[in-house]
A and B are shown apart, each in its own frame.
Chain A
Amino acid sequence: MSVLTHKSLAAQSHALSETDKQLKLLQEAELTPFQQKLKESALFPLKAINVDVFQINMGKMCNQVCKHCHVDAGPDRKEIMTRDTMQLCLDAIDKTNCSTVDLTGGAPEMNPDFRWFVEQLSEKGKKIIVRCNLTIIVANKKYNDLPEFYKKHKIEVVSSLPYFTSVKTDAQRGDGVFDQSIRALKMLNEVGYGMEGSGLTLDLVYNPSGAFLPPEQSALEADFKKKLKDRFNIDFNSLYAITNLPISRYLEYLVASDNYMGYMEKLVNAYNPMAAENVMCRSTISIGWDGYIYDCDFNQMLDLKVATKGQHLADFDLDSLNNRTIIVNQHCYGCTAGAGSSCGGTTA
């Protein structure tokens, strides 16, 4: 087991904080190119279908330094979205028929304009998802009313909880994170989140604490529901099982623990054409803190901007985005392994 550091790769000036180094490592491995797999599935070039989900990364600032974080987020990251860029997001959303706006980070709530942005979005009648790391709710008094705020705007809360025990959770997310997450989940339950009939959705996200693939989603959900209810009297709606993608801090973990090739071979061997057909990037765009547009949050972290005109919100071009070819690379095997993986769980 490796030691959890409290600095981002960027703050450590680690080689793998550079996206070109990550891409080089991914391409150097002697594995079947992802493009070839897509060709065999008659899916290459991979084309977008529409822009149904706006996933907006509000910044890399976070109160946690999780070991697997693909954003390389942490307290030492200062890149956050300005209100001007949020306005560009709102203008772009108005040009589409998207159903969902998915807010992520870092901890999106740490952005000083987070509540303003949510209020603006709320008026548009779209489904709003906030990817809340839970601990932010109890990190400081000023965040303690977040459950009420989420409730007011009928936000769907999606939160990471790698396991129903502290050992596995803290190993991935930091010391004390499990206990704080349980406190936050209780606060969310208290205002109605995850409770039957409340209409307030609280979903949890499982991702493996190590170099292995996630379990079958429904069996794991049943296990989580029973254990969290029996041990902590906590309720939630759905569990999403997500595969870790080999980029950023998780890539660094794989290399440092000598699991890189074994994990990549596992992903390649588990390639599932059905999952490839349903990858979320075909109906999503991902917006960076600085307003640039990407196919997904992972391509964003590898600085692979959409391969079409209008790469920035200021030049938003829906037609081009709807017809774009999605940029793929070896990390994409993470979304097509086994039952597939997306921000909404399995896809096949």
Chain B
Amino acid sequence: MSTYYNSEDLKKFGKISEFQPELGEKFFEYYNSVFKEGALTAREKSLIALAVSHAVQCPYCIDAYTVSSMEKGCDEEQMMEAVHVAGAIKGGSALVHGVQMMNKYKELSM
């Protein structure tokens, strides 16, 4: 069955450079630098990436950063807490617009 998402495609991510080598290579160089140990540990970055993957709802990223987090020594509790951080921000970002709705409601009401 043909689907828009195919888990095998994740392995081909590097191939995006085939159609535009210069920008592709620059992107991957930047990408690899971002995930190196720095002021944040590689493990902290992996958990952030896992949370963001859920926020942007990218199945490839979720697969990649589930494995990455496990290989950085994270357990299921820590990983689910990271997903809840994404959930809280996503939920909060919807709900905080409730203030805008309230403002408009009040503006139009007697």
Contact = CB atoms under 8 A, between A and B. Distances in A.
Answer yes or no: do A and B interact.
yes
B38 interface: no
B70 A208 contact: yes
A215 B73 CA distance: 5
Interface string A204-225: 0000101011111001100100
Main secondary structure of the interface of B (DSSP, over half): helix
Interface residues of A, number: 14
Main secondary structure of the interface of A (DSSP, over half): loop
Contacts of A215: 43, 71-73
B67 interface: yes
B73 A168 contact: no
Give the size category of B's interface with A. Answer: 10 to 19
B95 to A, nearest CB: 33
Contacts of A208: 70-71
Contacts, number: 28
A216 B42 contact: yes
A27 to B, nearest CB: 23
Interface in A201-251: 208, 210, 212-216, 219-220, 223
Nearest to B74: A215
Contacts of B70: 208, 210, 212
Which of A165, A167, A216 has its CB near the most chain B CB atoms (within 10 A)?
A216
B66 to A, nearest CB: 9
A10 to B, nearest CB: 30
Given A212-B70, A215-B72, A216-B72, 19 more contacts: A163-B75, A167-B75, A167-B76, A208-B70, A208-B71, A210-B70, A212-B67, A212-B71, A215-B43, A215-B71, A215-B73, A216-B42, A216-B73, A219-B41, A219-B42, A219-B43, A219-B72, A220-B73, A223-B73
- 9 smallest beta-carbon distances between A and B, as pairs: A215-B73, A220-B73, A212-B70, A215-B72, A213-B71, A212-B71, A215-B71, A212-B67, A223-B73
Interface of B: 41-43, 67, 70-73, 75-77
